[in-house]
Amino acid sequence: MVPDARDARGRLDDRCASPSRSLAPPLPRERPTDSLPLSLCAQIGGCDWGGYVNDEGQNNPTYEFYPSRGGPVGLNILTTTLPANLFPLIWLLPSGNIFLQANWGTEIFDYKNNVEYPLADIPHAVRTYPGSAATAMMPLTPANNWTATIMFCGGTNLQPDQWTLNWNVSPCPLLLLLLVVAVVALVPVEPRC
């Protein structure tokens, strides 16, 4: 039997660099996102029991920290970006805020004060799972005045009402579907924080 990973968090032990699964979050989560500075991790989003895409019945539109700073806190962008909001994409900006992208939605999130600043939808395509795209933040340098430029390449142009929870995946039509609707567009985004 495969253990249920929703009730544990993986981390590296500083002394021996071996995985530890002893840290249970307050809420079980499938497919969250982690990443923050200064030994602080944020679990952002996820769902209760997994699946290809998320739905209102199992959406976990919250974030929480490790080490804990209290219980889970609501994050509105994760309620408005169903069903393709699993594995939300996040980047730490020079301001200390987070640029967050899920489904078509984007925002700057001030996690220190729990304030969301919605931005225009990402153009051309869904970039989050399962329409995953290649993404990268370009180098921050004195020459570009430490300007954060995030590149998005690929994804899928499926609209929220076109996703389904009942995919017939034999032998592999899902892969074919994503190849047919894949978007070949390189989109630079420079979030102003």
Answer whether 53's CB lies under 8 Å from 163's CB. Answer: yes
**73-81 contacts at long range (C-beta below 8 A, 24 or more positions apart):** 73/114, 75/44, 75/45, 75/109, 75/116, 76/116, 77/102, 77/105, 77/107, 77/109, 77/116, 77/118, 78/44, 78/45, 78/102, 80/105, 81/105, 81/128
Q: What distance in Å separates the CA atoms of residue 62 and residue 128, rounded to the nearest whole number?
A: 17
- Written as six digits, the tokens of 169 are 């995946």
Distances (CA, A) of 174 to 30, 49, 88, 184: 21, 21, 21, 18
Confidence of residue 131 (pLDDT cuts 50, 70, 90): confident
Q: What's the rounded mean pLDDT across residues 181-191?
A: 63
Looking at every residue in the chain, the average pLDDT score rounds to: 76
% of the chain beyond a pLDDT of 90: 29
pLDDT tens string 23-76:
445 555 555 555 566 667 888 998 888 777 889 999 999 999 888 889 999 999
| Neighbour tally for 49: CB within 10 Å | 10
Q: Is the dihedral of CA 30, 35, 36, 41 positive or negative?
A: positive
Q: State the pLDDT at residue 40.
A: 77
- pLDDT higher than threshold 80 for residue 170: no
pLDDT tens string 149-168:
998 888 888 888 887 766 54
Q: State the pLDDT at residue 66.
A: 81
Choose among 113, 129, 104, 130: nearest CA to 189. Answer: 104
Q: What's the rounded mean pLDDT across residues 76-101?
A: 92
Scan for tokens 């992208």, then name that residue. Answer: 101
- pLDDT higher than threshold 90 for residue 78: yes
Q: What's the rounded mean pLDDT across residues 129-136?
A: 84
- pLDDT higher than threshold 60 for residue 108: yes
Answer whether 69's CB lies under 8 Å from 60's CB. Answer: no
- Is 0.85 surpassed by the pTM of this model? no
- pLDDT higher than threshold 80 for residue 22: no
Q: What distance in Å separates the CA atoms of residue 45 and residue 61, rounded to the nearest whole number?
A: 5
- Written as six digits, the tokens of 177 are 């579907």
Alpha helices in 72-183 (DSSP H): 77-80, 173-180
